[in-house]
């Protein structure tokens, strides 16, 4: 395989771990190149969790991926910057500004201030992201799914009445304890893919769905008019990785999101929710963990090629092995389609 053009769809923390694996594998296999690899890696990141808070635009998933790739993330806590302090947040709380349960660290606030300043200068989020990421040699191009402000809200039942919360309030303050009735993507109908998204999927040799939340990370990206169509019409195989191992999400509360849209927390059910490309869906291939070997029957029956491999992203090496499996399926699929499509 010559150095491939890879596009990844990703959410925050799960997406970040996976993208670090993509970069590690590319650096190992195709080491020559300006960014440590000759492969090109474009990551389309969910921005449905973004919000205005204390006058600042906060983009949780873009920042999780950026910090993880830059190596400045807090590995222990799982989010935010390493070596963080929270002096500014304490001041904001004293003034009654912002959400006291949504602590923004001081270093992190530096990012939000810089981003908000650029947005107020009139730059679209994609250009702002390019400028922010230029600070670190990421070796990966980060694109927001859209430049428009699209916000995921959650409709919950409280004392018999429907109430709508911003996704981050539901996730962080209530820990998804209030049962989600449905998700609403405000602003999605008018949104268009950010510059570069459709171009990158069209030029890609392989498109990967990270093991991110299928509903509020990958699902939100696919909800942007034009992105699902771009994947469906892409020449490249589309291969996804299950975020569910043995009927449970690896981390977080994605099962609460799956339940709300009527999808079982099950490796095969998520693949069937994305659908087989041959029958109007997205997937050519799907990776499941060794404990989910049973899932392969349903996948094969639906026309999705499967691979069984350990899916715990315990470190970059483990993530890179998962990525190698996904590229392996993509190559096999491309070979079947014809020699001119082999990446």
49 vs 284 by CB, closer to Ca ion:
49
Q: Which stretch binds ligand GDP (CB under 6 A): 133-141, 198-206, 241-249, 333-341?
A: 241-249
Query: Is residue 81 within 8 Å of 73, Cβ to Cβ?
Result: yes
Contact 43, 143 (CB under 8 A): yes
> Could you give the string, one character per residue 302-321, with x where binding to ligand GDP holds by CB under 6 A and - elsewhere?
---------xxx--------
208 lines the binding site for ligand GDP (CB under 6 A): no
Task: Using alpha carbons, select from 220, 290, 214 the residue that is nearest to residue 257.
Answer: 214
If one asks whether residue 11 binds Ca ion (CB under 5 A), the answer comes out as yes
Rounded to 5 degrees, φ, ψ at 276 are -80, 140
Task: Report, in Å, the least distance between residue 241 CB and Ca ion.
Answer: 17
* Residues in 30-89 that interact with Ca ion by CB under 5 A: 49, 61
Please tell me the distance from the alpha carbon of residue 213 to that of residue 11, in angstroms, as a whole number.
7
Query: Please, where are the H alpha helices in the chain?
Result: 13-29, 60-70, 87-95, 106-120, 125-133, 167-168, 197-203, 218-222, 227-233, 254-260, 267-274, 295-302, 316-337
Question: If contact means CB under 5 to 8 A according to the sort of partner, which of Ca ion, ligand GDP, none does residue 250 touch?
Answer: ligand GDP
* Pair 64, 49: CB distance under 8 Å: no
Site size with ligand GDP, rule: CB under 6 A: 25
Q: How far is the CB of 49 from ligand GDP (least distance, A)?
A: 7
**Binding of residue 289 to Ca ion (CB under 5 A):** no
Given the complex with ligand GDP, which of 136 and 312 has the nearer CB atom?
312
Longest dimension (CA), the chain: 64
With CB under 6 A as the contact rule, the residue among 58, 68, 249, 304 that binds ligand GDP is 249
211 makes contact with Ca ion (CB under 5 A)? no
DSSP state for residue 313 in the 8-state scheme: -
Q: Indicate whether 252 belongs to the interface with ligand GDP (CB under 6 A).
A: yes
Q: How many CB atoms lie within 10 A of CB 280?
A: 8
Which residues are near ligand GDP by CB under 6 A? Answer: 10-15, 17, 61, 64, 211-213, 217, 241-243, 245, 249-252, 254, 311-313
């Amino acid at each position: 395989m010559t150095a491939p053009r890879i596009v990844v769809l990703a959410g925050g923390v799960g997406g970040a771990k996976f993208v670090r694996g993509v970069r590690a594998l590319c650096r190992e296999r195709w080491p020559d190149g300006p960014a440590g690899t000759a492969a090109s890696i474009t990551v389309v990141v969910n921005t449905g969790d973004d919000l205005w808070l204390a006058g600042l635009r906060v983009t949780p998933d873009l920042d999780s991926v950026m910090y993880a790739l830059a190596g400045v993330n807090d590995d222990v806590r799982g989010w935010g910057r390493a070596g963080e302090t929270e002096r500014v947040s304490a001041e904001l709380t004293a003034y009654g500004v912002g959400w006291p349960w949504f602590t923004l660290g001081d270093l992190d606030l530096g990012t939000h201030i810089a981003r908000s300043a650029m947005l107020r200068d009139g730059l679209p989020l994609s250009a702002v992201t390019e400028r922010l990421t230029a600070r670190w040699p990421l070796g990966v191009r980060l694109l927001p799914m859209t430049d428009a402000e699209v916000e995921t809200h959650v409709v919950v039942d409280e004392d018999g009445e429907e109430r709508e919360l911003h996704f981050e309030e539901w996730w962080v303050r209530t820990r998804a304890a209030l049962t989600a009735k449905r998700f609403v993507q405000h602003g999605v109908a008018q949104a268009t893919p950010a510059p570069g998204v459709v171009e990158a999927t069209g030029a890609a040799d392989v498109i990967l769905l990270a093991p991110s939340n299928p509903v509020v990370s990958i699902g939100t990206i696919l909800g942007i008019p034009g992105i699902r169509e771009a994947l469906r019409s892409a020449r490249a195989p589309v291969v996804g990785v299950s975020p569910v191992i043995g009927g449970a999400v690896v981390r977080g509360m994605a099962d609460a999101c799956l339940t709300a849209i009527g999808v079982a927390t099950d490796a095969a059910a998520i693949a069937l929710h994305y659908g087989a490309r041959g029958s109007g869906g997205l997937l050519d291939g799907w990776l499941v963990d060794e404990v989910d070997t049973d899932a392969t029957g349903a996948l094969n029956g639906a026309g999705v090629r499967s691979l069984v491999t350990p899916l715990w992203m315990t470190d970059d090496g483990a993530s890179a092995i998962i990525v190698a499996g996904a590229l392996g399926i993509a190559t096999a699929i491309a070979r079947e389609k014809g020699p001119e499509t082999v990446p």
